[in-house]
């Protein structure tokens, strides 16, 4: 039996972005790993949804791990991100979600899908979602969702949620 305890510390350290330096919120995918062409569903929670225009997500198509073949990121737009007030307050004030299809020719690796507003700024303290593509995870994942999160019902049966209670 596996326990869902999402995203390894080494992975988080590797994909740190500007808001991460001071702490930041992450979206969590519903699966441990994906294959190219798979549909990704990810959800996170933030305390403030301040943004300049509608939030959009984009995927960095260069694996996050060191790669001497690539000199810089290649970005792929993933589409709109849904932001909805929850009525829960605090860091659970807004539910942020996205559903998108991974490019079919994506190489195996660790990727970051960033969430930005229309002027390129972050949405509240939201960073994005880290994804494992074409690899077996080597560390347990942690998911920080409230127990009332609807996507919990879609988690595989070998995952046990560990989240904030409502």
Question: Quick check: is 67 in a domain?
Answer: yes
pLDDT, tens digit, for every residue of 39-52?
Answer: 999 999 998 877 77
Question: Quick check: is 33 in a domain?
Answer: yes
| pLDDT (0 to 100) of residue 62 | 55
108: helix, strand or coil = coil
* pLDDT higher at 122 or 12: 122
Taking residues 113-122, report their average pLDDT: 79
131: helix, strand or coil = strand
Residue 37 Cα distances to 27, 57, 136, angstroms: 20, 17, 17
Give start and end residues of each alpha helix (H) in 86-163.
none
- pTM for the model stands at 0.74
| pLDDT (0 to 100) of residue 160 | 57
| pLDDT (0 to 100) of residue 141 | 75
Question: Quick check: is 50 in a domain?
Answer: yes
Q: In the chain, how many domains are there?
A: 1
Whether residue 115 contacts residue 27, with contact meaning beta carbons closer than 8 Å, is answered with yes
Question: Quick check: is 91 in a domain?
Answer: yes
Taking residues 144-161, report their average pLDDT: 77
pLDDT, tens digit, for every residue of 52-111?
Answer: 777 777 766 656 665 445 445 567 778 888 888 899 988 899 999 999 999 898 888 888
* pLDDT higher at 52 or 21: 52
Whether residue 166 contacts residue 146, with contact meaning beta carbons closer than 8 Å, is answered with yes
Question: Quick check: is 160 in a domain?
Answer: no
Question: Quick check: is 138 in a domain?
Answer: yes
| pLDDT (0 to 100) of residue 29 | 92
| pLDDT (0 to 100) of residue 4 | 41
Question: Quick check: is 44 in a domain?
Answer: yes
| pLDDT (0 to 100) of residue 39 | 95
Distance CA 78, CA 102 (A): 8
Question: Quick check: is 3 in a domain?
Answer: no
| pLDDT (0 to 100) of residue 99 | 92
| Residue 144 domain boundaries | 9-154
pLDDT, tens digit, for every residue of 123-148?
Answer: 888 888 888 999 988 777 778 788 88
Percentage helix, strand, coil for the chain under 3-state DSSP, each rounded to 5: 10, 35, 55
Nearest to 81 by CA among 36, 33, 25, 135: 25
């Amino acid at each position: 039996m596996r326990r869902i305890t999402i995203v390894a510390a080494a992975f988080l350290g590797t994909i740190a972005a500007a808001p991460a330096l001071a702490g930041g919120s992450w979206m969590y995918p519903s699966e441990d790993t994906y294959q190219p062409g798979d549909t990704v569903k990810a959800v996170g929670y933030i305390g403030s949804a301040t943004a300049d225009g509608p939030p959009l997500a984009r995927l960095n198509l260069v694996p996050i791990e060191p790669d001497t073949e690539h000199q810089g990121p290649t970005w792929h737009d993933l589409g709109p991100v849904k932001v909805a007030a929850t009525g829960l307050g605090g860091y659970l004030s807004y539910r942020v979600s996205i559903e998108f299809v991974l490019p079919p020719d994506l190489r195996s690796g660790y990727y970051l899908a960033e969430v930005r507003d229309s002027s390129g700024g972050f949405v509240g303290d939201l960073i994005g979602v880290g994804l494992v593509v074409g690899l077996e995870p080597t560390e347990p994942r942690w998911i920080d969702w409230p127990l009332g999160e609807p996507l919990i019902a879609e988690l595989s049966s070998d995952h046990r949620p560990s989240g904030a209670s409502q």
